[in-house]
Amino acid sequence: MPNRQPHDIKRIAILFAGGPAPAANAVISTAAFSFLEEGAQVFGIKHGYSRLVEYTAAGPLQEGVDYINFTQDSLTNARSSRGIMIGTARTNPGKHVCSPDHLKNPELVAPLRRVYEGLCSLEVDALISIGGDDTLKTANKLKMFQDNLPADARRFPVVHLPKTIDNDYSGIDFTFGFFTAVETLAEEIRNLNFDAAASRAYFLCEAMGRSAGWLAYGAAIAGEASMVLSVEDITGALAEEEIVNQDTGETKKIMALDRVIDRMVDMMIAREREGREYGTIVVAEGLAEYLPAIYLEGVERDDHGHINISSINLSALIAKLISHRYNERTGRTRKVNGLQLGYEARCAPPHAYDVMLGAQLGVGAYRALVEEKLNGVMVSVSGQLDLHFVPFEQLVDPQTLVTKVRYIELNSDFHKLARFLETCIDI
């Protein structure tokens, strides 16, 4: 039987922010169900922080418009459903808070204060935040904002559940939706393999993965692609130079684009020696951040400082460069088609593993808040879906308030697996 314990949490808000991910509703519904079973009231905040940051100016929150009241009926068959039952948005209420000192500046924390006041208007006793690393940063800032309030101010604990199909989260082995997204993209790549073989052509597939290459690598391995490259591979001969940001001291690698293109053409020529005049190449979209500056001139950035990758069309750019370089080196032509993959994977029907993982994370929010009485933690799982609670301080830089990205380790067996399965290139 479940270990139910008396607790003071009578009203809970659940909020989802950032890009969609398969099994999102498994997380939301099980978290809501855990509290509804005890008669608590559970609010689903609609479309991330987009309405909460306008709370004061836009007036009181309206049920059905700004939030929903979860019921047992509304959760029926939700666990394995597609989409996000409360919607999402990328609004970032903490974008101006870049250090602990900023939390003492009324102007910089004004959006966070409106979020806090909006949630207080619902008299919530806890917030369950679901989202990627940017949403984790916001959860941490909201918790720190409350830490700085007067002693008699209302406070509510914040628990975060990690979400990203990119799987680049520190503190957890795999994020919900990752394997569903991998399989969805892998199936497309397998289809493209047959198309490429029929017309003796190549497909250059740009997979999602802004910060790390987990999705690109997983899709390439499962989809039997000819080659995969991601941001982790921009090192050694494939890194042109490094630029130090004078303001932050951060070092940024720049892609040696000519050598990257030559590496891909090397693979094409090697496959031809084996009698295969076709193939697929997978790249992570995050490589766009590593392009030489000339390709990034005039590109807009979002609330989180990320470049607008879709405006660059990395797949079309690289496909064109590969085709040109192949012709220069061989005197022959080879059609290379650039394709952007990823959006179709974000709301695909969730696989059983992602539903189980998502459900455990949802239940983990209940256990963190009720059984462990925690605040400022991210729920994590490992092994046989064993729950762990990771403090925000272990995941966020205490000075910059920036999260730590989990890259594929270049010497890891996972990375070696992709290299082992690729066409051997003699360099």
Is 310 part of a structural domain of the chain? yes
Residues 131 and 229 in one domain: no
Is it the case that residue 152 has pLDDT exceeding 90?
yes
Q: Report the CATH number at residue 100.
A: 3.40.50.450
Instruction: Mark whether 90 and 190 lie in a shared domain.
Output: no
Of 281, 354, 347, nearest in space to 319 by CA: 281
**CA 113 – CA 306 distance, rounded (Å):** 24
Banded pLDDT at 163 (limits 50, 70, 90): very high
* pLDDT confidence bin for 6, thresholds 50/70/90: low
Same domain, 340 and 192: yes
Does residue 141 sit in the same domain as residue 17? yes
In the numeric block, which tokens belong to residue 289?
């951040």
- Round to whole Å and give the CA distance between 426 and 106: 60
Q: What is the CATH number of the domain that holds 282?
A: 3.40.50.460
Residues in a beta bridge with 379: 389
d(CA 354, CA 361): 10
**Could you tell me the residue range of the domain that residue 317 belongs to?**
181-347+408-421
Same domain for 30 and 126? yes
342 and 388 together in one domain: no
Residue 53 contacts residue 71 (beta carbons within 8 Å): no
Ranking 2-11, 15-24, 138-147 by mean pLDDT, the lowest is 2-11
Question: What is the predicted pLDDT for the residue at 57?
Answer: 75
The pLDDT, as a whole number, for residue 351 is 95
For residues 209 and 312, membership in a common domain is answered with yes
The proportion of the chain whose per-residue pLDDT surpasses 90, expressed as a percent, equals: 84
The token pair that represents 238 in the structure block:
């494939």
pLDDT reading at 192 higher than 50: yes
Q: Encode pLDDT of 9-66 as tens digits.
A: 999 999 999 999 999 999 999 999 999 998 999 999 999 999 999 998 778 999 999 9
- Residue 245: pLDDT band (50, 70, 90) is low
What mean pLDDT is reported for the chain? 92
Q: How many domains does the chain have?
A: 2
**The model's pTM:** 0.91
Answer yes or no: do 74 and 215 share one domain.
no
Q: What share of the chain is helix, strand, coil (3-state, %, to 5)?
A: 40, 20, 40
CA-to-CA dists, residue 130 to 87, 122, 318, 358, 386, angstroms:
12, 19, 34, 11, 19
Instruction: Output the pLDDT for position 240.
Output: 82
The mean per-residue pLDDT over the stretch 410-420 comes to: 93
Residues 150 and 295 in one domain: no
Q: For position 249, what pLDDT does the model report?
A: 56
- Specify whether 186 is located in the same domain as 290: yes
Query: Which among 361, 395, 363, 359 is positioned nearest to 376, based on CA atoms?
Result: 395
Whether residue 246 is predicted with pLDDT greater than 60 in this model: the reply is no
Residue 230 lies in a domain: yes
Averaged pLDDT for residues 57-77: 92
Nearest to 379 by CA among 3, 14, 4: 14
The pLDDT of residue 250? 60
Q: H or E stretch including 91?
A: none
Q: What is the pLDDT of residue 1?
A: 38
Q: What is the pLDDT of residue 24?
A: 97
